[in-house]
Structure 1
Amino acid sequence: MQVTETLNEGLKRGYSITVTAAELDEKVNEKLVEAQPEVEMKGFRKGKVPMSMLKKQFGQRVLGEAMQETIDGAMNAHFEETGDRPAMQPDVKMTDDDWKEGDDVNVSMSYEALPEIPEVDLKSISLEKMVVKAEDEAVDEALANLAETAQDFAARDAGEAAQDGDQVVMDFLGKVDGEAFEGGAAEDYPLVLGSNSFIPGFEEQLVGVKAEDVKDCTVSFPEEYQAEHLAGKEAVFTCTIKEVKSPVAAEINDELATKFGAEDLAALKSQISERLEAEYAGAARAVQKRALLDALDDKVSFELPVSLVEAEAGQIAHQLWHEENPEVEGHDHPEIETKEEHTKLAERRVRLGLLLAELGQKAEVEVTDAEMTQAIMNQARQYPGQERQFFEFVQQNAQMQQQMRAPIFEDKVVDYVFELAQVSNKEVSKDDLQKAVEALEEE
């Protein structure tokens, strides 16, 4: 086998690989000898089929496998010898259009090599970590929101009409074609108007009723209603209104705290404070991470593989186009032009991606099975009822696994750099943090 360099410009590499007919024939014979003990053929005992017959019967099929394995072996040996790491899958193709069995095989291989990443003095990087304490005002606001979600209902004054959002306590009896039906009656039933918990069109007819009113509500069951004998039929519900109640926020006290699993109000406030500060810390980390990436981008400069930059720029342009055209869900749209700003952003992302990958490799940063499982479970929750199918899909899809592993790996490398960099805490207000986060989104 002969490997000859044909191109070496910057990161671009090109090679010509020649596999002789003799080498291929030897590889075919090796594979046939390996398979011979298991081959059965009419007229011969298992494992006793002559090599000449094996070659006649299976030679063509084995030849293709031998050719692929030989070329793959040559490529692997080349990368091991040179230390090159291709930026993307190498372009490999036969150059003999009229190749026939018995000829040497000539193959061209081209790729862009990943660049050498320069060393970075991580200890020379200075960063600020924004620290926000949960103020009493923010805790009280969160408590008020919790009280709203735990709302109760208080009786309206006599004669007041029900409004959307009120609770109506009633007895009702439903009939179809004048006959009561199973499940169509209840007593002292509390219904919140606007909750859409009843048949469409029912609740709207109760807006304006008062205590002691009797109201007939006429509705039609949906065509796809689960009870087939009622599907699509018109029903009349006679509703006897017993009470009309308006919503009131729950009182902020120990009783409210126990509804949310806390021992008392003081414990609930403490939990809210911890949750708020965790949210602030997450936002502050995003700001600190951007500052780190900016610092790294300023410190490093190296040649970038054009193929990676072009692919990244294309993805950026495609994503931004869909954000500007949300009505287009699929990919049936005109070709999207990659602009200079897309390429500039792509260069930054590729440069930082290669740098973080290099830092992570040298620091032996790894994504554990437990971290991957947790990430898959978190994403699976977005598909209620299909969690198991999603989990199995990810397990069987290497590309999906890589997409989920990449951000976890990046965050672990970022945390590693945070530990080495000079980080100083800066106590700020919630508003200051919010402005810093908004500034990130505008860039």
Structure 2
Amino acid sequence: MQVTETLNEGLKRAYAITIGADELDAKVNEKLAEARPEIEMKGFRKGKVPMALLKKQFGPRVLGEALQETIDGAMNKHFEETGDRPALQPEVKMTNEAWKEGDDVAVEMSYEKLPEIPEVSFDDITLEKMVVKADDEAIDEALKNLAETAQNWEDRKSNAKAQDGDQVTIDFVGKVDGEAFEGGSAEDYPLVLGSNSFIPGFEDQLVGAKKGDEVEVKVSFPADYQAEHLAGKDAVFECTIKAVKKPVAAEINDDLAKQFGAEDLAALKAQIAERLEAEYAGASRAVMKRALLDALDAKVSFELPPSLLDAEAKQIAHQLWHEENPDVQGHDHPEIEPTEEHIKLASRRVRLGLLLAELGQKAEVQVTDSEMTQAILNQARQYPGQERAFFEFVQQNQQMQQQLRAPIFEDKVVDYIFEQAKVEEKEVSKDDLQKAVEALDDE
């Protein structure tokens, strides 16, 4: 085998690889010899078929496999000897298209190598960690929100009109073309107006109704309604209003605390304080992470693989275009060319991504199986009823696994750097932290 360098420009590399016909033939013979003990053929005992006959019968089939293994072996040997790490899968193609069995094989391999990442010291990086304590005002606000979610219903005064957000108790009979239809009737049904639990337009027509009123609600079933015999049809619901109730927040006391699994109100307040401070800590970490990435971006510079930069810039341009054009759901739109701003942002992302990957590798940062399982479960919750199918899909999809693994790995590397850098805690107000978080979106 002969390997000749044909391109060495920046991070771009190309090589001409010649695989001798004898070498390829030896590989075919080797694979046939491995398979020979298990091969049976008429007129010969198992494992005793002559090599010449095996080669005639199976040689053409084995040749392609042998060729691929030989090329893969040549590539692996090259990367071991040079220490190059390709940014993307190398491009490999045969250059002697008129090749026939018995000829040498000529192959061209091209790729962009990952750059050498300079050593980074964290001794001169100082980060500010914003610390927010859960005060009484924040705890009381959270308690009030909990009380609203645990609301009760209280009868409105007689003759009071139902308002949006009220609960009306109704009997109703639904009819299409004057005939009642199956599943269109109920008694003592509690319906919260504005909940959109009934078909569009139904609840709106009950706003303003009073206890004892009889209301004809006229609606049209959506064209894509799940019951095909009703889809797109006009209907009339004869409704009797039996009660009108207003929402009343639950009292903030020990009983409320027990509804949320706490022993008493004091224990619930302690739980809320702990949850709030965990939320503040998460927001504070996001701010500190941005500051760290800014510091690393300013500190480290190296050449970037053009293919990675181009792919990232196009992805950013495409994503931002869809955010600006939310009505376009698919990808049937003109090609989106990255701007200088997109390329600038892509440069930062690619540089920091390569840097963090290098730092994580040197620090032997690993994503554990339990961390991956938890990430998959968290994602699966977005597909109620299909969690198992999603879990199996991820297990069989390497790309999806990488998408879930990458942010976990990055966060673990960032935590590793936090431990090396100088971190100064500063107690601030919730408003100060909120402003710092909002500033992240503005940048």
Same fold (TM over 0.5): yes
How far does residue 6 in structure 1 lie from its aligned partner after superposition? 2.2
Could you tell me which runs of 5 or more consecutive residues in structure 1 were left unpaired when the two chains were aligned.
none
In the alignment, the residues of structure 2 paired with residue 306 and residue 27 of structure 1 have an alpha-carbon distance, to the nearest angstrom, of 37
Distance 1:370 1:179 in 2: 55
Tell me the CA shift for residue 211 of structure 1: 3.1
1:345-364 map, 5 Å: 345-364=345-364
2:347 is the counterpart of 1:325: no
Which stretch shifts more, 256-265 or 376-385?
256-265
Distance 2:236 2:441 in 1: 53
Residues 127 and 424 in structure 1, CA contact (< 8 A), matched pair in contact too: yes
Aligned with 2:437: secondary structure?
Answer: helix
Question: How far apart in 1 are the matches of 2:421 and 2:288?
Answer: 11
Please give the alpha-carbon distance, in whole angstroms, between the structure 2 residues aligned to 1:181 and 1:194. Answer: 25
Alignment of 1:11-90 (within 5 A): 11-90=11-90
Alignment of 1:398-417 (within 5 A): 398-417=398-417
What's the CA shift string for 1:243-272, capped at 9, x where partnerless?
322222222222222222222222222222
Q: Which stretch of structure 1 is more off in the superposition, 353-362 or 219-228?
A: 219-228
The farther-off stretch of 378-387 and 9-18 is 9-18
CA contact 1:19–1:104 (8 Å) conserved in 2:
yes
Q: Residue 84 of structure 2 aligns to a residue in which SS?
A: coil
Contact 2:92 2:108 in 1 (8 A): yes
Amino acid at match of 2:116: E
Q: CA deviation at 1:191?
A: 3.2
CA distance in 1, matches of 2:182, 2:346: 65
> Alpha-carbon deviation of 1:214?
4.7
Which stretch of structure 1 is more off in the superposition, 15-24 or 296-305?
Answer: 296-305
**Contact 2:175–2:184, Cα closer than 8 Å, also in 1:** no
Question: What TM-score do the two structures reach when normalised by structure 2?
Answer: 0.91
Give yes or no for contact 2:4–2:17 (8 Å, CA) kept in 1: yes
Check the 8 A contact 1:220/1:233 in 2, yes or no. Answer: yes
Unaligned 5+ segments in structure 2 are: none
Asked if 2 retains the 8 angstrom alpha-carbon contact of 1:175 and 1:184, the reply is no
> Per-residue deviation at 1:330?
1.8
Equivalent in the alignment of 1:295: 295
Where in structure 2 are the equivalents of 1:181-220 lying within 5 Å?
A: 184-187=185-188, 189-198=189-198, 202-215=202-215
Is the 1:165–1:246 Cα contact (8 Å) retained in structure 2? Answer: yes
What is the Cα deviation at residue 227 of structure 1? 11
Q: Which residue does 2:149 correspond to in 1?
A: 149
SS at match of 1:111: strand
Residue 324 to residue 203, structure 1, CA distance change in 2 (3 Å): closer
Measured in 1, the distance between the counterparts of 2:344 and 2:179 equals 73
TM-score (ref. length: structure 1): 0.91
Structure 2 counterpart of 1:152, one-letter code:
N
Partner deviation per Cα, 1:385-415 (whole Å, 9 max, x = no partner): 1111111111001111111111100000000
Partner residue, 2:110: 110
Task: Please give the alpha-carbon distance, in whole angstroms, between the structure 1 residues aligned to 2:313 and 2:339.
Answer: 8
| Residues 1:348 and 1:194: Cα distance change in structure 2 (over 3 Å) | closer
Q: Which amino acid aligns with 1:329?
A: Q
- Taking a change above 3 Å as real, the CA distance of residues 219 and 370 of structure 1, as seen in their structure-2 partners, is same
Q: Which amino acid aligns with 1:186?
A: E
CA contact (8 A) 1:175 1:181 kept: no
How far did residue 417 of structure 1 move? Answer: 0.5
1:97 alignment counterpart: 97
Of stretches 2-11 and 275-284 in structure 1, the one that deviates more from structure 2 is 2-11
Report the alpha carbon displacement of residue 423 of structure 1 after superposing the two structures with TM: 0.2
The 3-state SS of whatever aligns with 2:367 is coil
Is the CA contact 2:162–2:206 (under 8 Å) kept in the aligned structure 1?
yes
CA deviation after TM superposition for structure 1 residue 283, in Å:
0.9
Superimposed CA distance per residue, residues 72-97 of structure 1 (whole angstroms, 9 cap, x where no aligned partner): 11111111111111111112111212
Alignment match, 1:263:
263
> How many residues were matched structurally?
441
Give the drift of 1:163.
Answer: 2.2
Per the alignment, in what secondary structure is the counterpart of residue 118 of structure 1?
coil
Aligned equivalents of 1:74, 1:163: Cα separation in 2? 76
Residue 182 of structure 1: how far off its partner (Å): 8.2
Share of identical aligned residues, percent?
Answer: 75
Looking at structure 2, the residues matched to 329 and 234 of structure 1 have their Cα atoms a distance apart, in angstroms, of 32
Q: Which amino acid aligns with 1:193?
A: L
